[in-house]
Amino acid sequence: MERLWGLFQRAQQLSPRSSQTVYQRVEGPRKGHLEEEEEDGEEGAETLAHFCPMELRGPEPLGSRPRQPNLIPWAAAGRRAAPYLVLTALLIFTGAFLLGYVAFRGSCQACGDSVLVVSEDVNYEPDLDFHQGRLYWSDLQAMFLQFLGEGRLEDTIRQTSLRERVAGSAGMAALTQDIRAALSRQKLDHVWTDTHYVGLQFPDPAHPNTLHWVDEAGKVGEQLPLEDPDVYCPYSAIGNVTGELVYAHYGRPEDLQDLRARGVDPVGRLLLVRVGVISFAQKVTNAQDFGAQGVLIYPEPADFSQDPPKPSLSSQQAVYGHFPPVASSGLPSIPAQPISADIASRLLRKLKGPVAPQEWQGSLLGSPYHLGPGPRLRLVVNNHRTSTPINNIFGCIEGRSEPDHYVVIGAQRDAWGPGAAKSAVGTAILLELVRTFSSMVSNGFRPRRSLLFISWDGGDFGSVGSTEWLEGYLSVLHLKAVVYVSLDNAVLGDDKFHAKTSPLLTSLIESVLKQVDSPNHSGQTLYEQVVFTNPSWDAEVIRPLPMDSSAYSFTAFVGVPAVEFSFMEDDQAYPFLHTKEDTYENLHKVLQGRLPAVAQAVAQLAGQLLIRLSHDRLLPLDFGRYGDVVLRHIGNLNEFSGDLKARGLTLQWVYSARGDYIRAAEKLRQEIYSSEERDERLTRMYNVEFYFLSQYVSPADSPFRHIFMGRGDHTLGALLDHLRLLRSNSSGTPGATSSTGFQESRFRRQLALLTWTLQGAANALSGDVWNIDNNF
């Protein structure tokens, strides 16, 4: 503004006065001053000098000298026009300056609706490279891709899959030493190992698990062979149960409700369910909730790719699966056992009763599947628990400005079998990212926040390794960990890409997808590949975090946003996951030789995500996305507003909290758009995820306290499930209190827990406690 004022004063000096006006050529330092202000000033000054080539004096008193004819008539006109030209130029310059300033301040808005997700160098702090000067986003991106291209991902995947690495084994101990040594050779600030003694459950070789037919008199008959005695469900309840067999599809709550609606009650029976869609733990917990005695889980061939050139799972192979390691995490109290497709086929042939719905049908029989009940079975589970040491390995690059804030990336190291897709791919990518970022540090890169690389042990036992670490730092981790990126299950195909994630990361994932080339569509980015088949990219890509992912506990237990990437095969499940056939050779055949390209794409995606999260001044987390999540779920609640009104109940509380959150999120977004660069309050505003952990339930009783992703009566999902009972309440009487029907007292408690947590999140976003404007 001082420069603008100087120009304005100069214009006044050039304007006509009543006594005398003199126009003369601008020379010397004044001319130099104009050149400093505007590069085109020299041309403008020269034009003015030619326009007024002589000194022109103002009017003199009458009679002082004879009137002379005007020898240059255009000079008078020029004298009158010059001040206006100068002022016009000044106004144009001022307008351009203000327009440029506004455009610069609104540069974040030009990037779209997402909060803080920007492109190129906006919101980016440069690093100092002692060899090349300053490093911006484009420099870091080029440097990352250059060093990443020098890795040997495929060889590491192959070698890792050949090593025995069951948690607690001698082979795992040797691999632990090798990986720690590999990290120590890189340019990391700290490398260490964290050891925990945990109870792991294994089959009992002296007393294997069994399955027998039982006749009508209750006598145990023929034994059904379980082809591989090593296949079991860690942390299944032990004991023996007997009951009639019922087919229950995937074992989801809606499947069991449908079963009951068709006249087949799960109570007191053994359920036969298919692998997939939800975790083993959820299948067994749902069966327990509906009164079942036990669960048998089999791989349905119709759920896997039927492409003849590609390998398929043997019909004699069962699928391994695990539960959470502690009862408070939802550990079921009924036994469960995996069985092969061959055994399932023998069981399905014995079922009678109603024909299963068309979408429940499979390819094991030449005739339709029936729901049952069928003959009685006796299931015996004799797994035993033993105290076992497990080791998590850590490597850290300290941040230069916020060293106590960590961007965490991890991969499971152990495997029950070869585990090529399960953990060898993730381990190889993790090691390659460590090597790549180490090389970047050697060439001038230093992140703003710390990068923490972790190799987890005990992943095939309910992610017990990561769970132990989270429990140890539960009171502070939400203040320190910024985001968790999981590399588990990253390559299960090459056709479809899914990101199982917290909504806070959706906008950032969209931005990074536009920077990564598709591994199987030449000339396209991953984003272009996705929108080619579905313009709504997030509907195609974004999925909720599954309970059996290590990333799940980060979000649902600790309140840290997390993401797990997966390339899939035509939306079909990878057939060998959690089996002894999960070998490097089978993975290579399924991908038809594209394993290196797909693994490289995952490494690029994860690496560029890490750069953005560790180096951006303001974290690119879009907390406004949770407003969309709330609106979507509120739409589901609205379906029951009429039923509740008939009972004198209302959902108005949660509606009010929803409105407060959306308003608070929008207000904070506007503050960020218009914030100054060094606004420390907004810089610290990063862990919105933690606000969605219910503070009104005990972590010991309900560890997964997240109201959208957790488990328990405090969650939105539990409230919806309870409201659905309004439509199935047999009595149809308001205020009915049947243990299997809608309960008004339970509804009021659920609504209060949900509303208080959502309102607390809104208040936290609003900022100062004395500046909260809501009517709750």
Q: What is 503-551 written as a DSSP string?
A: GGGHHHHHHHHTTSB-SSSTT-BHHHHHHHH-S-HHHHHEEPPPTTSHH
Which long-range contacts does 119-123 make (Cβ < 8 Å, 24+ apart)?
Answer: 119/511, 123/616, 123/617, 123/618, 123/620
In this predicted model, what pLDDT tens digit does every residue of 75-95 receive, in sequence order?
555 566 666 777 777 777 777
% pLDDT > 90, the chain: 53
Q: How far apart are CA 728 and CA 640, in angstroms?
A: 12
In this predicted model, what pLDDT tens digit does every residue of 462-515 receive, in sequence order?
999 999 999 999 989 988 999 999 999 999 998 899 999 999 999 999 999 999
Cα–Cα nearest to 669, from 574, 542, 765: 765
Residue 647 near residue 735, CB atoms below 8 Å: yes
Confidence category of residue 65, pLDDT binned at 50, 70, 90: very low
pLDDT for residue 666: 85
Least confident residue range of 103-117, 525-539, 556-570, 641-655: 103-117
pLDDT for residue 773: 53
Cα–Cα nearest to 625, from 761, 723, 475: 761
pLDDT for residue 74: 47
pLDDT for residue 305: 74
**What is the model's pTM?**
0.81
Residue 604 near residue 612, CB atoms below 8 Å: no
What are the residues whose beta carbons fall under 8 Å from the beta carbon of 240, sequence distance 6 or more? 335, 378, 379, 380, 381
pLDDT for residue 735: 38
Q: What is 410-422 written as a DSSP string?
A: EEE---SS--III
Confidence category of residue 239, pLDDT binned at 50, 70, 90: very high
Confidence category of residue 151, pLDDT binned at 50, 70, 90: low
Cα–Cα nearest to 498, from 544, 429, 556: 544
Confidence category of residue 24, pLDDT binned at 50, 70, 90: very low
Confidence category of residue 392, pLDDT binned at 50, 70, 90: very high
Backbone angles phi, psi at 615, to 5 degrees: -120, -25
Q: What is the mean pLDDT of the chain?
A: 82
Element (H, E) at 171: helix 170-184
Return the top range by mean pLDDT from 56-60, 175-179, 548-552. 175-179
Neighbour-count burial for 439-472, b at 16+ CB within 10 Å, e otherwise: bbbebbbbbbbbbbbbbbbbbbbbbbbbbbbbbe
Q: What is 275-326 written as a DSSP string?
A: SSSS-HHHHHHHHHHTT-SEEEEE--GGGB---TTS----TT--------SS
| The one-letter amino acid at 218 | G
